[in-house]
Structure 1
């Protein structure tokens, strides 16, 4: 019988060819080997023995599945259904709704899979913490021994929050600890409303944002007169619906659907000041909630990893054959 955490409705999470499930007893010795091989960056003073690992799984791990609010949630991590690591959220603060991220991967794969596995695991653990548990904040606590880790988590929109100078003793020297964090943005605190003519300037600024242009099929800057004509035409077009997302009284992004014979095509953008805070998923999720019976499609550049994650996490499926462009994906939700 597979284990289940009492605090989770959903216990299995997937993203592309990756997935996690509650930590398994059968992985205990592999986990022990990974940890013993990577002592240098873990808060573990000496190698684990089989007896210690078995005792840990029989007591500490077992108790996690009996508690209503355990202090950690640990998962086995799989790539193409092969166990390649484990991790979860630890030091959980249920009152303030935050937790630390922990992840240890197969040591033999670190040289080739470090970034891709970390990116995938972060996506999965955010499904657990942000979407399922509605935690407010996740953070990482890392010794200043693996600079590539900071680059990887920053690509996933974690921001450096603090450096604890000379905080830990390592090989006779005191080293720094880096803390990165990411906060959740509840959908309930934002409002999706129809666009009106007063939003013309905001949409013009967003469409010419360098990152928006880079992620667009047509990358040339948009001229004001061209934008104004396009905007007025779209407002009168019954096949187009445009919405603006507001949060705390501020406009944070826009989303548009254009109707075709088979699908309603989605295009969206988020203000540069609000990226990495969950508003991309928020704006798409709210649109889906507004139109639950429509069939949607989205064209996304293969390099636009944040948007790919958003559409996949919201149940869109990849349909590459819908486009003639070799550098884009088409996702659909029917």
Structure 2
């Protein structure tokens, strides 16, 4: 599990905190919701024992990073990275908000925190995202955050088709402020700075 401590940025009361036992039950509930499962490669409902085993295994793995996204000190989402073994100095990411009725724009704030963390703290060069072909919201989300679609061809995994997106650090450094400004216009209630 990651040794990186809580990651905060300049947005009002938002942070990524390493996954701990305190959040296990909540993450289990979120992960087993039909809304989250239908957009995962493994869409089977988890048993509590399997969830605990998964968490125990994380403690032994240095190539995976799991965070709970807090907004106004309240858990709102889950974000994970794991090393893309076939590509040096890169990560795959995955994430979800816990509830579907969160404020508009919250997922983008979580994404920006995650990209800042990956590129500036974990220090990777590339982030990859695998988006299931029928997950149109996630497809649009990745484009709005500035990811590039690697190919119009679909890939396949666990008998599910997906699109592959990629972000490299140089692009993030170049695009970050512009993306932030665009998101502020769309979601100004979320993208307010601390005073």
TM range (shorter): 0.7 to 0.9
Point out the structure with the larger strand share. Answer: 1
Instruction: Give the 3-state SS of the residue equivalent to 2:76 in structure 1.
Output: strand
Give secondary structure in 1 for the equivalent of 2:45: coil
Q: For 1:319-334, what aligned pairs fall within 5 Å after superposition?
A: none
Q: Is 1:159 matched up with 2:157?
A: no
CA drift of 1:12 comes to 2.4
Q: How does 1:28-107 map to 2 (within 5 A)?
A: 28-37=24-33, 38-57=36-55, 59-64=56-61, 70-93=62-85, 96-107=88-99
Contact 1:15 1:124 survives alignment (8 Å): no
Unaligned runs of 5+ in 1: 65-69, 186-275, 285-299, 307-316, 320-334
Q: Residues 163 and 177 of structure 1 are in contact (CA less than 8 Å); yes or no, is this contact kept in structure 2? A: no
Q: Aligned Cα RMSD in Å?
A: 3.1
Q: Is the 8 A contact 1:22 1:75 kept in 2?
A: yes
Q: Distance in 2 between the 1:82 and 1:154 partners?
A: 27
Greater radius of gyration (CA) = 1
1:13 match:
8
Asked if 1:180 is matched to 2:149, the reply is no
| Matched residue count | 184
1:166-219 Cα deviation digits (max 9, x unpaired): 7256xxxx653111111012xxxxxxxxxxxxxxxxxxxxxxxxxxxxxxxxxx
CA distance in 1, matches of 2:65, 2:149: 24
Report the Cα distance in structure 1 between the residues aligned to 2:41 and 2:88, rounded to whole angstroms: 24
Q: After TM superposition, give the deviation of residue 92 of structure 1 in Å.
A: 4.1
Pairwise CA distance, 1:154: 1.1
Partner of 1:279: 174
Q: Scaled by the length of structure 1, what TM-score is found?
A: 0.48
Q: Relative contact order, CA 8 A, sep 6+: which one is greater?
A: 2
TM-score by length of 2: 0.79
Helix, strand or coil: the match of 1:130?
helix
Q: Residues 163 and 176 of structure 1 are in contact (CA less than 8 Å); yes or no, is this contact kept in structure 2?
A: no
Structure 2, gaps ≥5 residues long? 185-192
1:304 offset after TM fit, Å? 4.2
Write the deviation string for residues 218-255 of structure 1: whole angstroms up to 9, x where unpaired.
xxxxxxxxxxxxxxxxxxxxxxxxxxxxxxxxxxxxxx
Q: Is the 8 A contact 2:65 2:80 kept in 1?
A: yes
Q: CA contact under 8 A between 1:92 and 1:98: conserved in structure 2? A: yes
Partner of 1:218: none
Q: Per the alignment, do residues 15 and 90 of structure 1 end up closer, same or farther by CA in structure 2, a change over 3 Å counting? A: farther
SS of structure 2 residue aligned to 1:140? strand
